């Protein structure tokens, strides 16, 4: 399958978030493919978005958010977990889409091993869970998803509008607008969406 090109990621963040549904996130682990279809995504729209890590401008932690589109932004949270985003829009915007859940496709044994023997929907139905399943950590922050060899996204089956649901983002803080805006997208009825 073909990788999503740079132009895909440079579109506005909501368009990218919506269009990522159904596409396949692929990790190369020492030559072994581990991948899953993206079933849930959230949009974080730059410095004006009070729920975004970009709200206070560029810092050491969020630097890759302000870099060119089509790269990974991986952050460490609660002293325990990693979460994976794709950087969107032109350099300097500070926008990204958080991948929140995957439907495992290839490398199920590897995912089970990395998830401590957990299986089925528990493998990757949350933003930190999918990072454990695919072996994503801060070493992959800033990785190029278009040209890189460790992590990329392939075009898979498109999801029709009729199967896309949307709602407020999960677990965020911020002003009323940030709390209420419907920037979480998921595949309606898909069992692998986070709880």
Partner DNA sequence: CTCTCGATGCGCT
Partner DNA sequence: GCGCATCGAGAGA
Instruction: Retrieve residue 132's tokens.
Output: 């454990």
Chosen residue from 35, 52, 88, 190 binding DNA by CB under 7 A: 52
Residue 128, interface with DNA (CB under 7 A)? Answer: yes
Chosen residue from 34, 96, 159, 193 binding DNA by CB under 7 A: 96
Residue 127, interface with DNA (CB under 7 A)? Answer: yes
**What minimum distance in Å lies between the beta carbon of 123 and DNA?**
9
Output Rg (C-alpha) for the chain, integer angstroms.
15
Chosen residue from 129, 159, 185, 186 binding DNA by CB under 7 A: 129
Instruction: Retrieve residue 144's tokens.
Output: 């190029």
Listed ranges 18-26, 74-82, 160-168, 176-184: which one lies at the site for DNA (CB under 7 A): 74-82
Q: How far is CA 127 from CA 2, 68, 83, in A?
A: 24, 22, 5
Build a one-symbol-per-residue string for 142-181: x at contacts with DNA by CB under 7 A, - elsewhere: ---------------------------xxxxx--------
Q: How far is CA 186 from CA 55, 78, 144, 145, 179, in A?
A: 24, 24, 25, 22, 17
Q: Which residues bind DNA (CB under 7 A)?
A: 42, 44, 51-54, 56, 59-62, 65, 73, 76-81, 83, 85, 96, 98, 115, 118, 122, 126-129, 169-173, 194
């Amino acid at each position: 399958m073909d990788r999503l090109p740079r132009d895909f990621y440079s579109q506005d963040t909501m368009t990218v978030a919506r269009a990522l549904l159904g596409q396949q996130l692929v990790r190369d682990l020492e030559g072994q493919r581990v991948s899953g279809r993206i079933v849930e995504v959230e949009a974080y729209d730059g410095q004006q978005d009070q729920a975004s890590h970009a709200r206070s401008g560029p810092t050491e932690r969020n630097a890759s958010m302000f870099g060119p589109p089509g790269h990974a932004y991986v952050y460490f949270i609660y002293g325990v977990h990693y979460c994976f985003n794709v950087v969107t829009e032109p350099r300097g915007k500070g926008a990204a889409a958080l991948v929140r859940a995957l439907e495992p496709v290839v490398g199920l044994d590897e995912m089970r091993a990395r998830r401590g023997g957990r299986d089925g929907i528990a493998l990757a139905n949350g933003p930190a869970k999918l990072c454990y399943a695919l072996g994503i950590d801060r070493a992959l922050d800033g990785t190029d998803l278009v040209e890189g060899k460790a992590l990329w996204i392939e075009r898979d089956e498109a999801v029709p509008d009729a199967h896309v649901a949307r709602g407020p983002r999960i677990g965020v803080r911020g002003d009323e607008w940030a709390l209420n805006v419907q920037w979480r997208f998921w595949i309606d009825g898909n069992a692998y969406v986070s709880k």
